Amino acid sequence: MLPLLRRRHSTLTTSLDRAKRLAATRAVRENFSPAHNYIGIGSGSTVVHVVSSLLQVATANTTFVPTGYQSRSLLLSAGLRVALIDEVPPGAIDIAFDGADEVDPAGNCVKGGGACLLMEKLVAVNAGRFVVVADWTKISTKLGERYAPGVPVEVLPAAASYVMSRLRELGATPVLRSGAKAKAGPCVTDNGNFILDAAFPGGIEVADAAARIRGIVGVVEHGIFSDADRKADVVYYGMKDGEVLVQGIIQ
């Protein structure tokens, strides 16, 4: 990377990180209650700031429910009490905090850039309130216009080829997500499945795409968070100018 481009990249990274921290701080301040017994914690870079803020207010009665290995490790390293989703009564999570790859004006989200979409959705649907924390680059007027990889789709490994063919019939351009730099082969989720990234040229018609993708045999879950399962109740965006934009009504 050229020196000038490197400096610009570093400046943007710092600005985004600051925006996430400010959004996370406000989201926790305005939504956390000492009366909460179970709090869901999503995955991704924004969640680091959420956990940091929660450390200042969590009580001895607070149990955290992670959505994946990353968030579980983060919580344990912070000395917080952790329970897996199957150890928590259905619907008992008071509130869940998570990030997003893209959010539209209605609170519909695309999630799964970190390959934890299944567990993130499972925690979200069990939560009384779903709070999304993001930065200004995730604001979208229509899903599919900002997050270039498209909709993450978790699939059974044996069904990957078939699901890709069906996604093409829906007008998508699916790609099998590859693993990390040190790993040869596909990305494997915490659940032992593969991830397909399905880009829809022209954007996503949320309700139609969510139903059609879920109806494909071999699909375990997709990364569209909408009225069909759970969209955000409120979104906190850290903005470039240092302000925090709140989308939604805080009860």
In the chain, the domains with their CATH numbers are: 3-138+228-246 (3.40.50.1360), 151-223 (3.30.70.260)
pLDDT for residue 194 is more than 70: yes
Rounded to whole angstroms, the maximal C-alpha distance in the chain is 53
pLDDT of residue 4: 44
* Mean confidence (pLDDT) of the chain: 92
- Give residue 5's pLDDT band: very low, low, confident or very high (50, 70, 90): very low
Helices (H), 32-159: 45-54, 69-77, 117-125
Confirm whether 120 is a catalytic residue.
yes
Query: Does 119 or 179 have the greater pLDDT score?
Result: 119
What percent of the chain is modeled with pLDDT above 70?
93
Catalytic residue among 30, 102, 120, 205: 120
pLDDT of residue 75: 95
Rounded to 5°, angle at Cα 121 from 117 and 205: 80
Residue 180 and residue 188: Cα distance in Å, rounded? 10
